[in-house]
Amino acid sequence: MAKIFMKIKELDISHWYIAFLCLTGIITFIWTNGFSFINYSSEEWVKLYVMLGAALILNSLTFRLPPEGNVISFDSSIYLACMFIYGSQFTLAVLLLCSLSYFVYKRNVPWWKKLTNFSLYSIMITLSFQVFLAFNGTLGPVNGHNLASYILALTSYFGINTIGLFIYYYLLYRTDLANTLKGFVKDTILVYLCMLILSLVLCVLIVNNGTLGLILFLSLGIMLSHAFRLLFSMYHQILNRSNIDQRTALYNHSFFESSLDYHIIEAKVNDRALSLAMIDIDDFKKYNDSFGHLKGDLLISFLGSMLKEETKDTSIVASRYGGEEFTLLMPGYDYEKARHFVDKLRKKLNDTPFDGVEVFPHKCLSFSAGIAQYSIDLYDKSQLVDHADKALYYAKKQGKNTVHTYGCDLIMEDELDLSHEVNYIEQQLNLFMYKDIDTFKHSKRVYKYALDMSNILSLDKEEKREFVLGALIHDIGKLEIPWGVLNKEGKLTPEEWETIKQHVTWGKKIALTDPRFRDLIPYIELHHERFDGKGYPHGLKGKEIPKLCRMLTVLDSFDAMTTERPYQKTKTLQEGIIELRACAGTQFDPELVEIFIAYILARSPKNELTLQEETAPYMV
């Protein structure tokens, strides 16, 4: 009993919807048919068997419609024709015998799907027949006066079928309501129009030609079913070609993106494990440089074939992500199971011979892989990809030919995260290399000062990250300053100084374009504010300026004073310290100035600082 309650608690709303549909369908069948066929005459049983045979033949010729798993056949034309000629009781009797036949014959189809199908058809037949009668439809031969009732009955039949299936798929996948309904109607309306015409043709043929008419109709139905099968087969072939990477025969990047959306929704709805592995061939550039791109392409194809072979009997979606990178989308795999699978793949690749492996450091083919597991608190799919990508980066940093799971070594990941971000910012600053090499070098020196000061100030992880990255990027707005002003050797005019001062505002605008820079904006915008409130751009004073921005002002100014600049005379370290002290309390925070001077004195050789003896020691 406890197990039954546990099972009931595990049911979601789509399961309850199926239960409701089945109960409604069974009640509708009993209310309409009442098992009246038990009292049929021999002649009525013959008609029942004939229509049953026709329905079974057409039901066996099913063809598939999007979305995946939605199959359809022309057997509804039999039910509609029976309904228009003999009424709903007889039609439901045909449906019952047809469903029982398939219940016995198609044992691979789950029983609940067969029952759901029978129930939905019972509701469709019963309600559409009521609509047929309501609009003065009369049983028997096709009558032109009944045209409106035929169309309205079919519309009801089509509408109930579409809404019934649509609600199920919507509850299961929670996709966009309007687009899902639009897709259902668009994909099935042509088929249902064919069914109406076929059912009317069948009515005419049966009434006027008896068995011969039924045989002619079945021939027509079989040919149409075959034509639809070919049509949708071609559709799927074209769809598959657009989703397949031609070099590796794996799925391409676009299919991976859409599959990721689908499997994340499924994992969320069904509380199912989902892992993503990103794979990158180690030292692929070295192989390409040694043997050329054609051989490199062969290596990519080889790994693609291996991934396809190893994942063919699993639920894993293997895709080529781009270049020499691949992804394995692993529904039902937690991180331990995913790691075991990917590591097994890695070892198998290590042991597989391939031409030219002598150029690799390990003398064998190898890849590095990063694995991330989906959790409900992930913001979106890009975060899952980002975690897997970072795990791949960590795997590379560990020496390659290894598999790393995101989150399994937080200390190392934190350090590498910072290193990764520093590398990214340095790439942005490379533009200074040709425009203003002095600013590039200045940013690197201030970054190193900030790295040391973050340890002296005992900053926590997030403060340290923001401080050192802010120090590295603080002058990025100078990219907007004209080259002639930035590299002018003589004294700047007042107008040129105003242009120089604009770099803090331009830097803020640049930072706003990249979400990774947004928490660094205070360092970019405020590193020229002064302790006495006479700085720019806002004229903030004292503690109105964030503490680490005040410290950055000290580092920035000291480096500017003590290194060669195009618009300022260079000072020695001694002169720089004197200048810092002279401006403490006006331009600089006096407390932070002394902390920095203590650091400079401690790291500099004595012969470079004769002033050290004259300087009062400062205990940090």
Mean pLDDT per 10-residue section of the chain, whose length is 620 residues: 62 77 89 83 85 81 59 76 86 90 78 85 91 86 78 84 75 60 63 70 73 75 75 72 84 88 82 91 88 88 92 91 92 90 91 85 85 78 84 80 79 63 71 70 86 87 83 87 77 85 90 79 92 91 90 92 66 87 93 92 64 40
In single-letter form, the type of residue at position 372 comes to: A
In terms of pTM, does the model score above 0.95? no
| Residue 478 to residue 356: CA distance in whole angstroms | 48
Check residue 533 and give left, alpha or beta (phi > 0: left; psi -120 to 50: alpha): left
pLDDT given at position 462? 74
| Residue 616, SS3 per DSSP | coil
pLDDT given at position 276? 94
What count of other Cβ atoms lies within 10 Å of the Cβ of residue 489?
A: 6
Alpha helices by DSSP H, 322-404: 335-350, 381-397
Contact 80/153 with Cβ under 8 angstroms? yes
| Residue 329, SS3 per DSSP | strand
pLDDT given at position 593? 93
| Residue 21 to residue 358: CA distance in whole angstroms | 65
Alpha helices by DSSP H, 490-589: 494-501, 503-512, 521-526, 547-562, 573-583
